[in-house]
């Protein structure tokens, strides 16, 4: 049997090892930065370090996402003797070489590529889930442990009863970060109270909203945080097995999770007698084929069982009869990534962040017509205006903000007149939108709302599993109506029929995908109805 990991000893060794290098270069190796050429930048830095014979002075560390994806590739340079840190953006291999020859060797930073980490994009954040982003190497457990990793699991297994762990989650007030915001503690309590000797917990990593990549980033950049959260969930609820369901389009997340599971098992953090206690748990990966509907928990369960990913009628709910008929709890990745911090710092601490009904922080993927795009983590209740105008830097190129889409194809559009809306579950629902998993797409004054609604309906139409007629045929009919309206060949009757059919699809579809598919149409009809009427009357938008 493998030796039990000594968390404190590993942390001390890792922190001591870092003092051996006068310089450390932390290079973002996230998917976003790699798509912008980060690999070539890192190779350039490493080659220049070797050419300048600085191998004993400079350590190059691949890290996860640093957040400001629109300015990637990103790199941080740390000088130990003066305890300074410099962030570089918009890097090329040539600039990577200059970082070594100018900044490190000659101690002359390259001002044209330096960005201030006190800028509003970073200053407005409160990082819990993303605390290790851009800090640790995702492929090494030592980095996670050095920043407090697995201490919550050790605390729970050695000094807390399962019901005490559950009580902290209930006290935190955390709600599911995957969509509707169901209270996490209530779901855990249902599984804990379910009868039977076999129970399962499942991490839902089937993130499919256009423009959303929060869960992907957590799985890629901090895989052990997810494993620890899943293990804590299993301990608190009496689960005997655990799965992580990831869509196949996330190969880097799959690779890093697979490695993390194997390392955790060798370190006795998974498997039998975890940390020399009576708690046993194995975590297995399951790869989905990329169907959006598999984000719905009953469809996800069917997919894990090897069946076609289609939703099932509820009740019974998964906590009553889920995987192979056994009680099962499905939780979003970001939700589980919060759990170790809640156990370490207490439910009361977590509930002090955000609003009374929407506690904690939320990760958003900012996209669209913004100066700064990327990942942010802010307290619940932060206003949309602060996110868009301050952190996002506002709409560029002299254009004006028109709307923000939250909740992806299941959400709605929020117009400029509601920019001061707090971003929390209740406030968004009152405007006809939802939090969703955290995608936030900003549109400027050039955006046609009928065309936007058509785009999201095309997505929902393509992703419909086809099991129920309202979604299978209703989305096709809605798309056809939107296509006529958006192309100027529709009529006033089409607008009326569009609104009526939205109500039918919403009220009669089997699962959340179909029920929420009309939301982008209904919200744009509510706030931008004139664009629909102008489109069918032949008016140009500017004439309205």
Q: What is the pLDDT of residue 290?
A: 87
- Tens digits of residue pLDDT in 73-100: 999 999 998 888 999 999 999 999 999 9
Q: How far is CA 411 from CA 114, 435, 523, in A?
A: 37, 7, 8
Q: What is the pLDDT of residue 19?
A: 87
Specify the domain boundaries for CATH 1.20.1440.230 within the chain.
Answer: 449-543
- Tens digits of residue pLDDT in 449-467: 999 999 999 999 999 999 9
Task: Give the pLDDT band of residue 179 (cuts 50, 70, 90).
Answer: confident
Nearest to 80 by CA among 161, 15, 1, 132: 15
Q: Return d(Cα 267, Cα 3) in angstroms, integer.
A: 7
Cβ contact 102:108 at 8 Å: yes
* pLDDT higher than threshold 80 for residue 541: no
Nearest to 486 by CA among 437, 524, 459: 524
- Tens digits of residue pLDDT in 284-299: 999 998 899 999 999 9
Residues sharing a CB contact under 8 Å with residue 440, sequence separation 6 or more, in sequence order: 364, 365, 366, 367, 387, 404, 405, 406
Cβ contact 318:287 at 8 Å: no
- Tens digits of residue pLDDT in 327-376: 999 999 999 999 999 999 999 999 999 999 999 999 999 999 999 999 99
Q: Return d(Cα 342, Cα 370) in angstroms, integer.
A: 33
Share of residues in the chain with pLDDT > 70 (%): 99
148-351 CATH, one of 3.40.50.11540, 3.40.50.2300, 3.90.1170.50, 3.30.479.10: 3.40.50.11540
Specify the domain boundaries for CATH 3.10.20.600 within the chain.
Answer: 361-444
Torsion of the alpha carbons at 183, 188, 190 and 191, rounded to the nearest 10? 150
For the chain, what is the mean pLDDT?
Answer: 95
DSSP at 268? T
* pLDDT higher than threshold 70 for residue 219: yes
Q: Return d(Cα 459, Cα 210) in angstroms, integer.
A: 9
Specify the domain boundaries for CATH 3.40.50.11540 within the chain.
Answer: 148-351
* pLDDT higher than threshold 90 for residue 202: yes
DSSP at 391? I
List the beta strands (DSSP E) in 206-326: 241-247, 283-288
pTM score of the predicted model: 0.95
Cβ contact 256:273 at 8 Å: no
Q: How far is CA 328 from CA 212, 230, 309, 323, 539, in A?
A: 26, 13, 17, 6, 54
Q: Is the peptide bond before 461 cis (omega within 30 degrees of 0)?
A: no
Q: Return d(Cα 111, Cα 149) in angstroms, integer.
A: 35
Average pLDDT of the segment spanning 467-491: 95
Task: Give the pLDDT band of residue 540 (cuts 50, 70, 90).
Answer: low
Cβ contact 402:415 at 8 Å: yes
Cβ contact 525:538 at 8 Å: no
Residue 429, token pair as written in the block: 């629902």
361-444 CATH, one of 3.40.50.1100, 3.40.1390.40, 3.10.20.600, 2.60.40.1840: 3.10.20.600
449-543 CATH, one of 1.10.1840.10, 1.20.1440.230, 3.40.50.920, 3.40.50.720: 1.20.1440.230
Residue 131, token pair as written in the block: 């605390």
Query: Is 21-117 a domain of CATH 3.40.30.10?
Result: yes
Q: Give residue for tokens 């190129």.
A: 397
Average pLDDT of the segment spanning 427-453: 94
* pLDDT higher than threshold 70 for residue 1: no
Q: What is the pLDDT of residue 209?
A: 87
- Tens digits of residue pLDDT in 488-531: 999 999 999 999 999 999 999 999 889 999 999 999 999 999 99
Specify the domain boundaries for CATH 3.40.30.10 within the chain.
Answer: 21-117
* pLDDT higher than threshold 70 for residue 543: no
Residue 536, token pair as written in the block: 């069918």
């Amino acid at each position: 049997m493998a030796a039990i990991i000594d968390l404190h000893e590993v942390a001390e060794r890792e922190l001591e090892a870092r003092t051996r290098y006068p310089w450390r270069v932390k290079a973002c190796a996230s998917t976003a930065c790699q798509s912008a050429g980060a690999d070539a930048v890192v190779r350039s830095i490493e080659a220049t370090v070797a050419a300048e014979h600085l191998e004993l002075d400079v350590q190059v560390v691949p890290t996860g996402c640093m957040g400001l994806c629109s300015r990637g590739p990103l790199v941080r340079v740390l000088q130990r003797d003066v305890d300074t840190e410099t962030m570089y953006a918009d890097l090329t291999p040539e600039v990577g070489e200059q970082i070594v020859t100018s900044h490190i060797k000659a101690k002359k930073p390259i001002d044209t590529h330096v960005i201030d980490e006190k800028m509003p994009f970073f200053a407005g954040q409160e990082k819990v889930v993303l605390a290790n982003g851009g800090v640790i190497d995702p492929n090494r457990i030592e980095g996670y442990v050095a920043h407090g990793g697995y201490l919550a699991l050790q605390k729970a297994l050695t000094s807390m009863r399962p019901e005490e762990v559950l009580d902290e989650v209930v006290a935190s007030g955390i709600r599911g970060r995957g969509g509707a915001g169901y209270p996490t503690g209530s779901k855990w309590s249902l599984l804990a109270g379910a009868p039977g000797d076999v129970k399962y917990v499942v991490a839902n990593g089937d993130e499919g909203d256009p423009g959303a990549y929060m869960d992907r980033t957590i799985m890629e950049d901090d895989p052990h945080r997810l494993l620890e959260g899943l293990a804590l969930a299993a301990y608190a609820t009496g689960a005997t097995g655990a799965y992580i369901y990831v869509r196949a389009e996330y190969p880097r997340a799959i690779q890093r999770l697979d490695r993390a599971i194997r390392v955790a098992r060798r370190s006795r953090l998974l498997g039998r007698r975890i940390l020399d206690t009576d708690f046993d748990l194995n975590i297995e990966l399951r790869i989905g084929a990329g169907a959006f509907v598999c984000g719905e928990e009953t469809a996800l369960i069917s997919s894990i069982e090897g069946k076609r990913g289609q939703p099932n009628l509820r009740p019974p709910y998964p906590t009553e009869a889920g995987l192979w008929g056994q009680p099962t709890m499905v939780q979003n990745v970001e939700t589980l990534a919060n759990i170790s911090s809640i156990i370490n710092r207490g439910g009361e601490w977590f509930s002090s962040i955000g609003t009374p009904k929407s506690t904690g922080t939320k990760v958003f993927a900012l996209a669209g017509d913004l100066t700064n795009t990327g990942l942010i983590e802010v307290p619940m209740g932060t206003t949309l205006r602060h996110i868009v105008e301050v952190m996002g830097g506002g709409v560029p190129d002299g254009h004006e903000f028109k709307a923000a889409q939250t909740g992806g194809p299941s959400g709605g559009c929020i117009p400029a007149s509601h920019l001061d809306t707090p971003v929390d579950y209740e406030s968004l629902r009152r405007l006809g939108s939802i939090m969703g998993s955290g995608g936030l797409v900003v549109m400027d004054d050039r955006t046609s709302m009928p065309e936007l609604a058509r785009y999201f309906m095309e997505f929902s139409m393509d992703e419909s599993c086809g099991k129920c007629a309202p979604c299978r045929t209703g989305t096709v009919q809605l798309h056809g109506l939107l296509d006529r309206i958006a192309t100027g060949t529709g009529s006033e009757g089409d607008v009326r029929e569009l609104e009526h059919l939205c109500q039918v699809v919403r009220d009669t579809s089997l699962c959340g995908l179909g029920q929420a598919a009309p939301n982008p149409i209904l919200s744009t009809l509510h706030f931008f109805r004139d664009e629909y009427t102008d489109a069918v009357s032949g008016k140009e938008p500017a004439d309205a």
